[in-house]
Structure 1
Amino acid sequence: SNFERTFALLNVGNWEYFVRNDGVQAQQPNGLAGGIFPKNTDVVVYQSGLIYGGFVVDIRDTAAVRLRVGGSTYGTGLQPGRILVPGTATALPVYGSPDEKNQWRIRRDWQQLQIGDSILIREAALQNPTNNETQIITDAMQQEIIDQYQLDWETWPVEWGAPFIDHNQNGVYDVGTDEPGIARADQVIWQVVNDAAAFDLYLSPPIGLEIQETFWTYNSEHFPFDQLIFMRYQLINKSGLRIDSMFVGQWCDSDIGKFVDDLAGCDRELSLAYGYNGNSYDVDFQKLGLPAPAAGFQVLQGPVVAANAGSDVNRNGIDDISERAVYNFQQTSPGFINLPMTSFAGLFNTSDVPCFCYDQTLQYYNSLNGYMHSRIVLPQYIFLGPSNGMPTKFPLDGDPIARTGDIDGFLFPPSDRRWMVNTGAFTLMPGDTQEVIFSAVGGIIDADENMSRFSVQQLKRNARVGQYFARNLFQNPFQPGPPPDVRVSEQSSKIVLEWGTNQDVLTQIESAEAAGFYFEGYNVYQLPSPATPKSRAKRILTFDKANLL
């Protein structure tokens, strides 16, 4: 499609993650991998995107293909823009122009940005790739980033559905009182896309879906939230037709540094799928003096469906009929639930070679259902453990740290890995909206030892925080505790900081626990002057517990 492709970068947390205005994720403007964790290091995600599929009851054209799949993998069936006029039983929807601006990015502290800031220099380099060995980053490049933040803040499209923080809680966006954004995030990307280009992906006709996508993240002051990127997809059925047996998934080609030695797995309890390095170290991360991280995607809030008495579909130990689902950060009436991860699909490097043909519509829909990536319905199987050979929708859900259960790397050696984390099924009626929230999660151990698999342990700890955050309706569950009682002694050539005398405060700090996170240590920061904002602090020392976390 002939429209300008724009790239917005999430980079205030510990990720650098590109979002393209046609739904493609984790791809840089130069086509290189664009999911980097920790930021300023190396790649963990080569490419990613939302994928969906369902059966369309097309009363306008009874001969039309019913099963349709769209979204973004190596290609995309999405294009920028809204659907201006919904379809009806007799008329097709009217799609907006893909040339109209559809992508906005904001950060709450944009007014504090200054030319010369390392984050601006780094982003300017990524947004203006060059083949020259020496790249020149100009003041104009950095100023353009600041100016775009200001413009997007001032033109935030609330009237199109972009979220805002309603400080006076009157349900209306009041300029000067309310502010753009979501969940008090430090950085937000919002964009609207539609499926007009669906045929370009896997030869599925367009359905008539408008998808409003919100990505948000937090800075390092909000650890461990800075280890996650939150992704909300609002799927609006503007087709005029019913969509049955619909599933959504987050597809990922995870490349943990060098792409040739990776493995994959899932954790059903956490609704998490992830990739990790298959060796004790990764060559690319080793060059940086780092162990290999792990990276995954997690279903935090699945689609809303009616509950059935006597069921526990979301696996929380409570009868579903007495539950309440969450939609738009608010609870529904009783009798509804949010679906969890309903399957994990491992797509090994020979099973999903792009053909951009209708065969892949069949293959991806089967993968969304938790079956093999095949044109026909074939179950996935447990590879290892006492249930070896049994069919499953959650393969590779063992423990790669303890090397127990069904884990990757035995039947197939480490290599390139692609996979999907899925949720469904649900029905999407004409005019209805479903909301699904995923997160991208990173994990890395703070150790010199070559123990890359332990990054999976940290990944799961971070994923548990995301899950806890979602269950608290995205209100921060981590209440700040007391600050250390620091005593300062100035000496001729040094300053001594001491905070061990006040045992009461020390006990409160070091015994704190939230969402499975416990006290791990202290960071010491330095500021150039008392007037400098905390966001510009430089960490100079860490006192850390010796537990590889």
Structure 2
Amino acid sequence: MTKIKSTIFIFLGFSFLFGVIPNKKTHLEDDLGNTSNQFTNSRVVTSHSYFNGNEWYARVVNDGQWATDEPPLGVPGGLWPRGSNNSVLYDAGIWIGFKDDQNVTQFSGVQWQSDFMPGPYGVTDSDNENYRVYKVNRWDDATVSDWSDWPVDMGAPWQDNNSDGTYDPAVDQPYLPLDQTLYSVYNDSTDHPVFGTSINGIEVHQTIFGGVSAAHNDLSRTFFIKYEIINKGSLNWHNARFGPWSDVDLGDPTNDAIGVDVDSNMVYCYSAEAGAETDVFGISPAVGFRYISSVNSLDDTLSSGGCIGNDCSDGVGAIYSSPGNQDQAYNRMLGLDNDGNNIYDPNGQELRFTHTGDPVTGTGWLDGSTSDKSMFFSVAPGQLIEPGDTVGFVMAVIIAQGTDNLNSITELRDASYEAKTLWDSNFNGVSLVDRPLLESDEDYGLFTDFTTPSVGPGHTVQLERTYHNGGNEILNMSLSSDADGYSMDPASAAIPPGENASLTFSYTADNYATTVHQVPSEISTIQSAVDAAMQTNFNAVIELIDNDNYNTQSYVADYSYTGDTILVASGTYTENIYIDNKSINLIATDGDPTSTIIDGNNGGLVLIVDSGIGLFTLKGFTIQNG
């Protein structure tokens, strides 16, 4: 889903004043309120959590959405590398479709919202915290609430260390094949806002897990999802299909292309334009969904898969656009277009997939229209799914980065085969790594940048951030910047496992000099005075140096000065003014706004203010004829 950062255009038809010059020392509290430089171990249980067991960050909600956007701003929910806030996946979740005994299409799924509700099928208290997303790490124990409360009674997988058949958190443990596991259960016994069908009796047990290995580098860029799907209703599921859907936003989503590697059982997204993601990733990565294994008699190969979006058909209609109802979505999972017609490649070969060519060699059917798109795959069972039956599958979500955008696809294929091999061997040979795990205690575990408000000469502005060590080794932190004036208090921190530390970040401005410009006595027009005003907006690269080797904490932080003042004598000024990325104080010297007029001469917007992070003050004018 594309998010556009817009310039704000201001047409002012009256007199007003806005903008504040900071005090000598300004302290900005974040949402956590006042904290001190002390270690604490408080954590909050909510209906959502996030996977961060390796280089990935993926927000997980208890209604079946994962790598899902963060409200209210719609920040993508699948980010890589962890800590960078680089978009990879905007939203994702499962699709389930079938025909009932009357040959009516039934469908439940996720597509920017969910047809599911938290908890096992039939519950009426879906907001009960027992139906939250449970998250545990390999180094946790019974003192951690999600470990001690691990919902074995609802179907959560676990390891019975003493073989007594009863979960004892002091002896037994949740299912932890790697470093981190998240579990949730949800069902479709609610309204279906996505696809509009009736209740289908679906209960889904979702287990997300991953970690890092000293012997397998690609594992740090992979996480696994195991779906167990139970028919808890009264319907027979004929010709059923199961699989993931995702709105992929790989950096800049407007240059995304989708491909299917049928031999690898993988659908993937890559950047079709070499160097297009330099400002985001350096080298464009590729991200893929690999079908790893079936659970209870699903086929070993994909049934269908490929591209969803208005531009997936290379300009030939909207036959692959986002499904608007259950029939269109089910058709895609059957390997048809939205209207139920067969899919043909450019050579006329009938397929159940889109874009099965090889972008690395430039052969076959390639996605030729880059834009914001979604991708999916489906798998089929070998028989009718009757009430009480359980089916499922395991998939891997993998990102890989090569020497360029196409070599990243090659690296992705290699990583997908390693993921398959590791799963098939029950992760034999994986050498797990004890380590610190840097986490944010802000909303959704995201890391905010270090952008500060405008600061006067010699003034200081401060930001407080609280960090958590979710690992099992001491987390060491310090600050580095390519600009003078930034500091961290304390200058370094060593955060013990499981504890928090509140750190204060400060920026102190130079003793810069501002100028007062007189219009028209010194400069003839207001626009000329704006152009002559000092540059006030800058940016710096801020890095948190830490020993969590599977995250990146590098930000481009914006900072600004308070700027010059433009004093305008009474009179009429016929001009259209554009203030671009500067702090400006624009003030009329006459106290009567009717005596100082900016007239746009009916030439469009009279005053455009695009001051970025800077200040803008306007006082004592009449603005007319825009």
* Same-fold call, TM cutoff 0.5: yes
The AA in structure 1 aligned to 2:309 is F
Name the amino acid aligned to 1:427: L
8 Å CA contact 2:69, 2:91 repeated in 1: no
**Any gaps of 5 or more consecutive residues in structure 2?**
1-44, 312-317, 433-473, 477-493, 499-545, 551-626
Q: What's the offset of the Cα at 1:379?
A: 1.3
Distance 1:5 1:360, change over 3 A: farther
Matched residues in 2 for 1:74 and 1:338: separation? Answer: 28
Evaluate the alpha carbon distance shift between residue 438 and residue 538 of structure 1 in structure 2; reply closer, same or farther with a 3 A threshold: closer
CA RMSD in angstroms, aligned pairs only: 3.1
Question: In the alignment, is the contact (CA less than 8 A) between 1:345 and 1:394 conserved in 2?
Answer: yes
Aligned-residue offset at 1:7? 2.1
Mark the CA change 1:395 to 1:354 in structure 2 (over 3 Å): closer, same or farther. closer
Partner residue of 1:429 out of 380, 386, 392: 386
CA apart distance, 1:174: 3.5
Whether the 8 Å contact between 2:109 and 2:195 is mirrored in structure 1 is no
CA contact (8 A) 1:277 1:452 kept: yes
- Quick one: structure 1 residues 194 and 395, their matched pair in 2 at CA, closer, same or farther if it must change by over 3 Å? same
1:109 partnered with 2:152? no
Equivalent position of 2:359 in the other structure: 400
Q: Which amino acid aligns with 1:453?
A: L
Asked if 2 retains the 8 angstrom alpha-carbon contact of 1:22 and 1:78, the reply is yes
| CA deviation string 1:479-506 (max 9, x = no partner) | 89xxxxxxxxxxxxxxxxxxxxxxxxxx
Distance 1:361 1:228, change over 3 A: same
Match of 1:378 in 2: 341
The one-letter code matched in structure 1 to 2:260 is C
Which among 108, 123, 127 is matched to residue 95 of structure 1? 123
Preserved CA contact (<8 Å) 2:310 2:322: no
Go from structure 1 to structure 2 and tell me whether the alpha carbon gap of 1:192 and 1:534 turns closer, same or farther (over 3 Å shift): closer
Q: 1:187 aligns with which of 165, 180, 186?
A: 180
| Structure of higher CA gyration radius | 2
- Displacement after TM superposition at 1:289 (Å): 5.9
Deviations, residues 195-224 of structure 1 (Å, cap 9, x unaligned): 023532211101111111111111354532
Q: Is the 8 A contact 2:138 2:176 kept in 1?
A: no
Does residue 44 of structure 2 align to residue 44 of structure 1? Answer: no
Give the drift of 1:8: 1.1
Contact map agreement 2:475 2:495 (CA 8 A) in 1: yes
Q: Among all aligned residue pairs of Structure 1 and Structure 2, give the percentage whose two residues are the same amino acid.
A: 24
Seen in structure 2, the aligned counterparts of structure 1 residues 40 and 464 have a Cα distance that, compared at 3 Å, is same
Distance in 1, Cα, partners of 2:390 & 2:340: 29
Which residue matches 1:322?
none
Contact 2:113 2:194 in 1 (8 A): yes
Contact 2:267 2:306 in 1 (8 A): no
SS at match of 2:243: strand
Q: Deviation of residue 534 (structure 1)?
A: 12
Do the aligned partners of residues 538 and 420 (structure 1) sit closer, same or farther apart at CA in structure 2, a change above 3 Å counting?
Answer: closer
> Could you tell me how far apart the structure 2 residues matched to 1:435 and 1:21 are?
18
Q: 1:22 aligns with which of 60, 63, 66?
A: 63
Aligned twin of 1:279 = 273
**Aligned in 2, Cα 1:8/1:527: closer, same or farther, shift over 3 Å?**
closer
Deviation at 1:464, TM superposition (A): 0.5
Alpha-carbon distance between aligned partners in 2 of 1:269 and 1:402, rounded to the nearest angstrom: 16
Task: Find the residue that maps to 1:252 and give its secondary structure.
Answer: strand
Higher helix share: 1
Q: d(CA) in 1 for partners of 2:249 and 2:280?
A: 16
> Structure 1, residues 432-462: CA drift from partner, whole Å, max 9, x if none?
11121111111112x5xxx211111111111
Q: Deviations over 1:333-369 (max 9, x none)?
A: xxxx7432121132123546668xxx52010000011
Change (3 A) 1:18 1:532: closer
Q: Which residue of 2 aligns with 1:69?
A: 107
SS at match of 1:248: strand
Separation in 2 of the partners of 1:11 and 1:538? 12
Aligned AA (2:422):
F
* Structure 1 residue matching 2:134: 3-state secondary structure: strand
CA distance in 1, matches of 2:428, 2:547: 23
* Separation (CA, whole Å) in 1 of partners of 2:270 and 2:281: 17
2:201 to 182, 204, 208: 208
Q: How many correspondences in the alignment?
A: 388
Moved more, 260-269 or 388-397: 388-397
Counterparts of 1:294 and 1:415, CA distance in 2: 15
Deviation per residue, 1:105-160 (Å, 9 max, x gap): 1112247xxxxxxxxxxxxxxxxxxxxxxxxxxxxxxxxxxx9x921111111111
**In structure 2, how many angstroms separate the alpha carbons of the residues matched to 1:478 and 1:348?**
38
Q: Retained in 2: the 8 A contact 1:5–1:20?
A: no
TM-score (structure 1 length as normaliser): 0.65
1:401 maps to amino acid: V
Shift of 1:172: 4.1
Q: Which residue of 1 aligns with 2:285?
A: 293
Whether the aligned pair in 1 keeps the contact of 2:296 and 2:390 (CA below 8 Å) is no
CA contact under 8 A between 2:76 and 2:87: conserved in structure 1?
yes
Corresponding letter in the other structure for 1:80 = P
2:189 corresponds to 1:196: yes
* Paired residue secondary structure (1:54): strand
**CA distance 1:289–1:51, shift in 2 (3 Å):** closer
